[in-house]
Amino acid sequence: MPAVVPLSAPPLDPTGDGLRRRITLLCRLLRGAAVLYALWGLIGLLVLWHDPTAVDTAWNHRLGVDVGPVPWQQRLGGLIVCLVTWTFVAGACLNLWWLTTEFLAGRIFTLDAAALLRRTALHGLAAGLSDILFRPVIFVLMTLHMPPGQRQIGVFLMPADLLDVMLLCGFLALAEVFRAAAEIADDHASFV
Amino acid sequence: MPIVVRLDVVLALRKVRSRDLAQRIGITEQNLSLLKSGKVKGIRFDTLEAICRELDCGPGDLLEYAPAPPAEDP
């Protein structure tokens, strides 16, 4: 079916300029926050894992035991594990940037925007889950140099983790709803 | 689709050019061409109303129901 050119009369649907105007400020703030969050996370990781004293202090406090000086190889291992999670975070931020760029260009109820929303949610969910799953790995890494009886492994879960996962699953469901809305808008656009 | 658009016939009977009609009802010539060839999924009531008003005709003059013949048994 050939694409129908929008009528010259103002559209009756809410996909026009009104909606774009309402979300412009929010989209710009989100874009800035996405870049800031990704860079902040990366710099924070590099600063923490680069400083032996900071690593020792952080893990003494977190585990409640004196982990002593953590060898550099283990610190490097910890950094790599954290960078895996950060990669998902960066993916979510990048997709959020692309999504808000689409919205700012007025391409709101489109299948591309729906796919970007879904990818943002999936990357966010992957980041949240990898953060939870890699915690025991970092526990082991930070205590690997200690005598076998003093090494620690444990699943460290907080109520906020569940909230994060719930919100991200909700976001994923919203992406599916958004895709259905985009398909309806696509159909609507082929009416003259 | 069993709905046939007969806009081209009505245009010829009224001796109205597509370009003129498109201008008078406020849609693009390209969209009117798609409508004439039946390559759209639907027509809005306000577009139909505008065409009927400008061509002095009814919806039944523009649209015709022509069901496909039943498939023959092999």
What domain count does chain A have?
A: 1
**Which residues on chain B are in Cβ contact (under 8 Å) with A189?**
none
- Separation of alpha carbons A143 and B36, rounded Å: 76
A151 domain-assigned = yes
B35/A192 Cβ within 8 A: yes
Domains recognised in chain B with CATH numbers = 3-65 (1.10.260.40)
Q: What pLDDT shows up at residue A175?
A: 94
Q: What pLDDT shows up at residue A7?
A: 46
- Separation of alpha carbons A142 and A70, rounded Å: 7
- Separation of alpha carbons A135 and A153, rounded Å: 9
Distance of CA B15 to the CA centre of its chain: 15
A5/B40 Cβ within 8 A: no
A7/B40 Cβ within 8 A: no
Chain B residues interacting with chain A (CB cutoff of 8 angstroms): 26-28, 30-32, 34-35, 39-44, 46-47
| Residue with tokens 């999670």, as numbered in its chain | A85
**What would the two tokens of residue A122 be?**
């999936």
Q: What pLDDT shows up at residue A146?
A: 80
B35/A2 Cβ within 8 A: no
- Separation of alpha carbons A121 and A117, rounded Å: 6
- Decide which of A83 and A58 is more confident: A83
A1/B40 Cβ within 8 A: yes
A12 domain-assigned = no
pLDDT beyond 50 at B17:
yes
Percent of chain A, pLDDT > 90? 55
- If we measure between CA atoms, which residue out of A37, A38, A73 comes closest to residue A55? A73
Selecting from A8, A9, A190 the residue whose C-beta is nearest the C-beta of B40 gives A190
- Separation of alpha carbons B70 and B26, rounded Å: 39
Q: What pLDDT shows up at residue A89?
A: 97
A7 domain-assigned = no
A21 domain-assigned = yes
Q: What pLDDT shows up at residue B74?
A: 61
A3 domain-assigned = no
Within 13 Å, how many C-alpha atoms sit on residue A132's CB side? 14
Please provide the DSSP assignment of A111-178 as one string. Answer: HHHHHHHHHHHHHHHHHHHHHHHHHHHHHHHHHTTS-GGG--------HHHHHHHHHHHHHHHHHHHH
Mean pLDDT in residue range A21-48 = 95
pLDDT beyond 60 at A88:
yes
Q: Which residues pair with B65 in a beta bridge?
A: B3
pLDDT beyond 80 at A182:
yes
**Which residues on chain B are in Cβ contact (under 8 Å) with A4?**
31, 34, 40
**Which residues on chain A are in Cβ contact (under 8 Å) with B40?**
1, 4, 190-192
A191 domain-assigned = no
Average confidence score pLDDT of chain A:
87
- Decide which of B66 and A4 is more confident: B66
Tell me which H or E stretch contains B5.
strand B3-5
Task: List pLDDT tens digits, range B24-68.
Answer: 999 999 999 999 988 888 999 999 999 999 999 999 999 999 887
- Segment among A20-29, A54-63, B11-20 with least mean pLDDT: A54-63
| Residue A167 belongs to domain spanning | 17-183
Q: What pLDDT shows up at residue B45?
A: 94
C-beta separation of B64 from A32 below 8 A: no
- Segment among A49-53, A67-71, B16-20 with least mean pLDDT: A67-71
Mean pLDDT in residue range A8-37 = 78
C-beta separation of A189 from A110 below 8 A: no
- Separation of alpha carbons A42 and B46, rounded Å: 56
Q: What pLDDT shows up at residue A16?
A: 60
A27 domain-assigned = yes
What residue spans of B4-71 are helical by DSSP H? Answer: 7-14, 18-25, 29-36, 45-55, 59-62
pLDDT confidence tier of residue A60, bands split at 50, 70 and 90: confident
Please provide the DSSP assignment of A43-110 as one string. Answer: HHHHHHHH-HHHHHHHHHHHHSS---SPPHHHHHHHHHHHHHHHHHHHHHHHHHHHHHHHHHTT--SS
A4 domain-assigned = no
